[in-house]
């Protein structure tokens, strides 16, 4: 990978990590990533327009653009609600369009090109997706409930561990029973880069969107109902499965099962780190221990 391209993604990765380190660090790192992307040919000017619009809409959805003056609080809240709703709609549409690579201005490099990682497996290609990674960064920074101190880490891990085990066993157990994958223990040279790129430029974006954005807001809207939070869990999982219908019916079912686990982890902890951990753990076990991405005759 050319140095300007590598620098672009290192800066974007740094901005993602910086979300947890200091609230002021992500912005300059992201700005540097955008500049490096322009210079390195990863980005073109239309990309800046769509990312700027997404960032602005996310800020408005989070803040509402309302006054903070105490005397005007009630009126400002009433005025801000339609603006937040509109901004949230823009965030959802732009996030989907960017994550699905439907907007111009992005030249995402190929890292793994049509490689057969397992005997009898479909060839696998992996891109470093700046558009999807940027979606994850913007949603994570503005609209997701994150851990705010190290003291939260141990409780979140304790609550996440059983969900992780059940999700991995259920999803890959169904995949094995359905013939989508077979057992294939391996550690190819692409393993570490696959996990890092998958985490930073795919998993974080998907969890920030489906759990941190959609599930959290559905649960808030349905909180007056006893089963409201669990309806949000189900909706989040079904939407996640529907997003994977392009891979076939069995793949969508597997994504729904996995999505239930990710949504359950988020509901249990109310922290986006929990669903991210379950998601990347499942993907890693799948990559190392089973046919990846799937058997040729399994989809």
Beta strand segments in 88-159, E? 110-115, 124-127
Above 80 in pLDDT, residue 276? yes
H-run or E-run covering 21: none
pTM, rounded to two decimals: 0.93
Quote the pLDDT of residue 74. 38
Quote the pLDDT of residue 65. 42
Using a 10 angstrom Cβ sphere, with 0-12 exposed, 13-18 middle and 19 or more buried, the burial of residue 42 is buried
CA dihedral 203, 209, 215, 220 (to 10 degrees): 140
Q: How far apart are CA 228 and CA 216, in angstroms?
A: 11
Percent of the chain with pLDDT over 70: 94
Quote the pLDDT of residue 72. 37
Categorize the per-residue pLDDT at 246 as very low, low, confident or very high, splitting at 50, 70 and 90: confident
- The tokens for 125 are 């290609």
Q: How far apart are CA 234 and CA 259, in angstroms?
A: 9
pLDDT tens column, 116-125:
999 999 999 9
Nearest to 272 by CA among 223, 199, 222, 221: 199
Q: How far apart are CA 67 and CA 72, in angstroms?
A: 7
* Low-confidence winner among 99-108, 121-130, 219-228, 257-266 (lowest mean pLDDT): 219-228
Q: How far apart are CA 127 and CA 202, in angstroms?
A: 10
* Low-confidence winner among 42-46, 49-53, 222-226, 284-288 (lowest mean pLDDT): 222-226
Categorize the per-residue pLDDT at 297 as very low, low, confident or very high, splitting at 50, 70 and 90: confident
pLDDT tens column, 44-83:
999 999 999 999 999 999 985 443 333 333 344 445 688 8
Above 70 in pLDDT, residue 299? no
Quote the pLDDT of residue 4. 84
Mean pLDDT of the 118-137 span: 97
Mean pLDDT of the chain: 92
Quote the pLDDT of residue 247. 85
Give the CA radius of gyration of the chain. 20
């Amino acid at each position: 990978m050319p140095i300007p391209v590598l620098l672009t993604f290192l800066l974007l990765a740094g901005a993602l990590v910086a979300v947890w380190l200091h609230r002021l660090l992500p912005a300059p790192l992201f700005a540097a990533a955008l500049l490096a992307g322009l210079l390195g040919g990863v980005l073109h000017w239309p990309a800046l327009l769509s990312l700027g619009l997404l960032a602005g809409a996310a800020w408005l959805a989070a803040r509402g653009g309302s006054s903070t003056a105490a005397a005007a609080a009630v009126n400002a809240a009433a005025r801000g609600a339609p603006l937040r709703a509109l901004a949230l709609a823009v965030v959802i549409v732009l996030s989907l369009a960017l994550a699905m690579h439907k907007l111009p201005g992005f030249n995402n490099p190929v890292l793994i090109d049509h490689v057969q990682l397992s005997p009898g497996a479909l060839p696998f290609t992996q891109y470093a997706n700046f558009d999807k990674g940027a979606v994850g960064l913007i949603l994570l920074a503005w609209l997701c409930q994150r851990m705010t101190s190290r003291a939260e880490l141990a409780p979140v891990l304790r609550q996440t561990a059983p969900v992780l085990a059940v999700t991995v066993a259920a999803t890959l157990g169904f995949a094995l029973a359905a013939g989508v994958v077979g057992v294939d223990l391996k550690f190819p040279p692409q393993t570490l880069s696959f996990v890092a790129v998958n985490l930073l430029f795919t998993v974080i974006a998907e969890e920030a969107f489906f759990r941190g954005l959609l599930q959290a807001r559905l649960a808030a809207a349905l909180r007056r109902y006893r089963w409201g939070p669990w309806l949000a869990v189900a909706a989040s999982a079904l939407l996640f499965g529907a997003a994977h219908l392009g891979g076939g019916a069995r793949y969508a079912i597997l994504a729904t099962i996995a999505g239930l686990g990710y949504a359950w982890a988020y509901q249990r902890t109310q922290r986006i780190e929990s669903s991210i951990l379950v998601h990347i753990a499942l993907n890693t076990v799948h990559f190392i221990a089973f046919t990846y991405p799937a058997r040729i005759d399994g989809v």
